[in-house]
Amino acid sequence: MKIDLEAEKKEILKRYRKLLRLAKKSRDDLDKKQIRKAFNVALEAHKEMRRKSGEPYIYHPIAVAQIVAEEMGLGTVSIVSALLHDTVEDTEITLDDIENMFGSKVCVIIDGLTKMSGVIDHSDPNYSIQAENFRKMMLSLSEDIRVILVKLADRLHNMRTMEFMPRNKQLKISYETLFIYAPLAHRLGLNSIKTELENLAFKYTETELFNEITDKLKENQRRLTRYINKFSLPIINTLTERGYDFEVDGRHKSPYSISQKMKNKNVPFEEVYDIFALRIILKSTPETEKGDCWNTYSIVTDMYTPRPDRLRDWVSTPKANGYEALHTTVMGPEGRWVEVQIRTQRMHDIAERGLAAHWKYKAKGSDSDNNKVDEWINKIRNLLDSPHNQAIDFIDDVKLNLFSDEIFVFTPIGELKTLPAGATALDFAYEIHSRLGDSCIGAKVNHKLVPLNYKIKSGEQLEVLTSKKQKPKLEWLKIVTTAKAKQRIKNGVRRERKLIAIEGKEKYGRILESLPTDNPKLLKELVRHFNVPDTVELFVKIAEKQIEKGAIKNYLDQREKHKKEADERIRKKPIEGITAKSFGKQDVLVLGDAKDKFEYKISPCCNPIPGDEVFGFVTVGDGIKIHKTNCPNAMHLQANFAYRTIKAVWEDKSKNEFLTGIRFTGTDDFGLVSRITNIISQESELKIKSIKFDADHGVFEGKVMLYVQDTEQLTELSKKLKVVKGVHNIKRIHTN
Ligand code: MN
């Protein structure tokens, strides 16, 4: 097909002029020269490029700039950045060029956008790389919030024009949008952009359900309109009588939010009870806006009975993303619930355009100083500053702390604190001070005692109860949600443990002095005997009297006794059936040989497999047992009963399979189990007997028992597993 370049040029200019026109409509302080320059640079840079749809590439940056100007109401720097947003990544233009031509502000934004391009793919098993990208994203966002605004516009346009993408890309982009961009838009108060992003992603990820809902909405369109009119007419009449200047906007909820309701309540479309929402937007003044909203509320609820539990007052306390409105759900005609949203024009602008509108009203001096978005960006900076040993924790923390809804609670002196929904009394204590958290034993909510894990609700007043005897505990990590509390608990526990261990070590020293032992390995043996992870924990237990002198003495006595008994028994008792001598000249035992003269057993203590260096040991009453030469028991056996040991070698190419195992630790990673089993059973073609994964706070321990023919196979496997991201510390184990 021949492309009409002249016509295309005209169309490009037409689109550019439309952008300028719309931009001027929402901002009167634009620097048109800069915008023109950016347009020309982008046009030149992308001139050979086309989009998947075949259209000239420049349509995309123009459209992104238009979203930035029209739907977000942003100014020159953002429009320029939007026009240039793909140049550094996709064309010859460098960041230096941008800085020289457009200055440092634009440069910072373009830099942030370019760095962000890897982004988050929730389905990608390599979660740690994603976490790093996510961190970068948050970092550039905290440098200049416009980075994320332009990125959101970019994403929105890409989602709007995604039909030409291959299916897998559509899915990937949609999941990413639901995972990160829609919550971001929500958090920044860009409600209409958030809703559109969700709906588009919904359309691509769950096409069937999306179609079902949109079809049903279409089918019922006339009925729905009639209903909304019937519902709103009396409200309109009364408001007009009372002299209000207002607009109403009746609508059904978005297909995405209807689908969420269907899923949450597990009901079909027909049973979603509140698909209607009526918006009342009042023209008001800053002085009277609260009163106007509440008067309107009372007019509506005089007419229709409200559900008492569904009143949401974001007029007195705006949402953390700056959203202000009154929401109520009332019983409309025909017994249907209708949500009514009441807000002023100012509140409406903020709800639709987010922080850009915020700034606009702030500049005009009609908004309070506490800019919620600034607060939010500060929180991001704090999260970035706090140490995170696990990249995955970071994403979770940010998602939980920054994107979830917030609740408001009060201290006993009436101070307002904001916490993420789901926060507990313990979160609250740590929010106030780490000392308060460390010694928290519970709280009083409205004079009632509640435990540490009590989930607080908005509006409650909490008094933290403490005890000097209380100490921070690792289990507490399970009952807190805020990043702050988690970090403070970890610090507290570490501090406590170290202090206690020092005490315990001194005590251990004193105990040893009074015991008849000079075993240099005793400490290691005790760690094993008492089944503790390390010496620090052993000392802690000694300090806390969970392990006392008696127990240590007992161990020493038992050890001595066992050793003596074993030696004694073997010395006294004749060996049944076989003695070393009966092997005669055949002084080497060939293992795996079908013509074996002698039965032997593989010793379960070290579980040797072909390839291991081994020896046979003639036991009392249990035939010959095969040990590894470096088996911990072997040293003892070889040293004391050399006459009962037999040389042993493996027969080559044994057809036998031997049970062995590997243990590894690592970072708990998305999809890791399946990758590991895949390597074992598919790539290495080994038979798995059992597999066990334990994950604890992002660290996992895996244990796989499997059948191999020889050590070579096992070494091969270890090599393969070692390069798997997230796996560390592969060890062979002997028993399951
Ligand atoms: Mn782009």
* Rounded Cα distance, 173 and 158, in Å: 9
pLDDT in tens, 592-621: 655 555 667 888 777 887 778 888 887 776
Of residues 311 and 645, the one with the higher pLDDT is 311
Contact between 68 and 150 under an 8 Å Cβ cutoff? The reply is yes
Assess whether 89 carries a catalytic annotation: yes
Of residues 355 and 731, the one with the higher pLDDT is 731
Ligand 1: centre distance to CA 194 (Å): 18
Ligand 1: centre distance to CA 61 (Å): 7
What pLDDT shows up at residue 177? 86
Per the prediction, the chain carries an average pLDDT of 81
Of 113-122, 276-285, 315-324, 340-349, the least confident: 113-122
Ligand 1: centre distance to CA 349 (Å): 26
What pLDDT shows up at residue 394? 60
pTM confidence score: 0.58
The edge-to-edge listing of strands for the beta sheet with 727-733 is 687-696, 699-708, 658-667, 727-733
Of 18-27, 297-306, 352-361, the least confident: 352-361
Of 156-165, 305-314, 396-405, 506-515, the least confident: 396-405
Contact between 145 and 377 under an 8 Å Cβ cutoff? The reply is yes
Q: With bands split at pLDDT 50, 70 and 90, how would you rate the model's confidence at 128? A: low
Relative to beta strand 337-344, strand 276-282 is parallel
Ligand 1: centre distance to CA 267 (Å): 39
Ligand 1: centre distance to CA 112 (Å): 13
List CB contacts of 698: < 8 A, sequence separation 6 or more.
390, 392, 393, 667, 668
Listed residue (155, 165, 164, 166) closest to 198, CA to CA: 155
Listed residue (352, 350, 250) closest to 300, CA to CA: 250
List CB contacts of 158: < 8 A, sequence separation 6 or more.
60, 173
* Rounded Cα distance, 504 and 498, in Å: 10
Ligand 1: centre distance to CA 90 (Å): 10
Ligand 1: centre distance to CA 171 (Å): 17
- pLDDT for residue 294 is more than 80: yes
Assess whether 415 carries a catalytic annotation: no
Ligand 1: centre distance to CA 173 (Å): 13
* Rounded Cα distance, 419 and 464, in Å: 15
Place of tokens 């028991």: 633
Residue 724's SS3 state is coil
DSSP code per residue over 50-77: B-TTSSBTTHHHHHHHHIIIIIS---HH
- pLDDT for residue 43 is more than 70: yes
What pLDDT shows up at residue 131? 65
List CB contacts of 24: < 8 A, sequence separation 6 or more.
30
Of residues 401 and 31, the one with the higher pLDDT is 31
pLDDT, average across residues 173-190: 82
- pLDDT for residue 324 is more than 80: yes
pLDDT in tens, 502-543: 888 888 888 888 877 777 778 888 888 888 888 888 898 898
- Active-site residue identified among 4, 31, 89, 374: 89
What pLDDT shows up at residue 701? 81
Listed residue (302, 292, 363) closest to 324, CA to CA: 292
Ligand 1: centre distance to CA 399 (Å): 24
- pLDDT for residue 334 is more than 90: no
Place of tokens 């240590």: 552
- Active-site residue identified among 11, 55, 90, 206: 90
DSSP code per residue over 627-657: EETT-HHHHHHHHH-GGGEEEEEEPTT----
User: What DSSP element (H or E) covers 678?
Assistant: none
Contact between 626 and 601 under an 8 Å Cβ cutoff? The reply is yes
pLDDT in tens, 456-512: 887 788 899 999 888 898 899 989 988 888 888 988 888 888 888 888 888 888 888
- pLDDT for residue 661 is more than 60: yes
Residue 469's SS3 state is coil
What pLDDT shows up at residue 403? 64
What is the 3 state secondary structure string of 471-497? CCCHHHHHHCCCHHHHHHHHHHHHHHH
- Token pair recorded at residue 47: 């001139």
Contact between 678 and 726 under an 8 Å Cβ cutoff? The reply is no
- pLDDT for residue 585 is more than 50: no
Ligand 1: centre distance to CA 259 (Å): 29
Ligand 1: centre distance to CA 598 (Å): 75
DSSP code per residue over 432-455: H-HHHHHTEEEEEETTEEE-TTPB
How many angstroms separate the Cα of 45 from the Cα of each of 50, 67, 89, 94? 12, 21, 11, 11
Contact between 327 and 311 under an 8 Å Cβ cutoff? The reply is yes
pLDDT in tens, 262-276: 888 888 888 887 788
What pLDDT shows up at residue 584? 46
pLDDT in tens, 709-724: 888 888 888 888 888 8
Of 230-234, 347-351, 673-677, the least confident: 673-677
Ligand 1: centre distance to CA 154 (Å): 5
pLDDT, average across residues 154-175: 89
What pLDDT shows up at residue 533? 83
How long is the chain? 736
What pLDDT shows up at residue 368? 43
Please, is 491 exposed, middle or buried when counting C-beta atoms within 10 Å of its C-beta (0-12, 13-18, 19+)? middle
- pLDDT for residue 59 is more than 90: yes
- pLDDT for residue 313 is more than 70: yes
Contact between 290 and 297 under an 8 Å Cβ cutoff? The reply is no
The edge-to-edge listing of strands for the beta sheet with 440-445 is 448-450, 440-445, 462-466
What pLDDT shows up at residue 576? 45
Exposure letters 294-324 (e unless 16+ CB within 10 A, then b): ebbbebbeeebebeeeeeebbbeebbbbbbb
pLDDT, average across residues 613-638: 77
- pLDDT for residue 633 is more than 90: no
Contact between 416 and 469 under an 8 Å Cβ cutoff? The reply is no
Residue 47's SS3 state is coil
Contact between 109 and 147 under an 8 Å Cβ cutoff? The reply is yes
What is the 3 state secondary structure string of 287-322? CCHHHHHHHHHHHHHHHCCECHHHCEECCCCCCCCC
With a pLDDT cut of 90, the percent of the chain lying above it is: 23
What pLDDT shows up at residue 75? 85
Ligand 1: centre distance to CA 84 (Å): 9
Q: With bands split at pLDDT 50, 70 and 90, how would you rate the model's confidence at 364? A: very low
Which domains are assigned to the chain? 5-211 (1.10.3210.10), 221-363 (3.30.460.10), 373-491 (3.10.20.30), 496-572 (no CATH), 577-650 (no CATH), 658-733 (3.30.70.260)
What pLDDT shows up at residue 709? 80
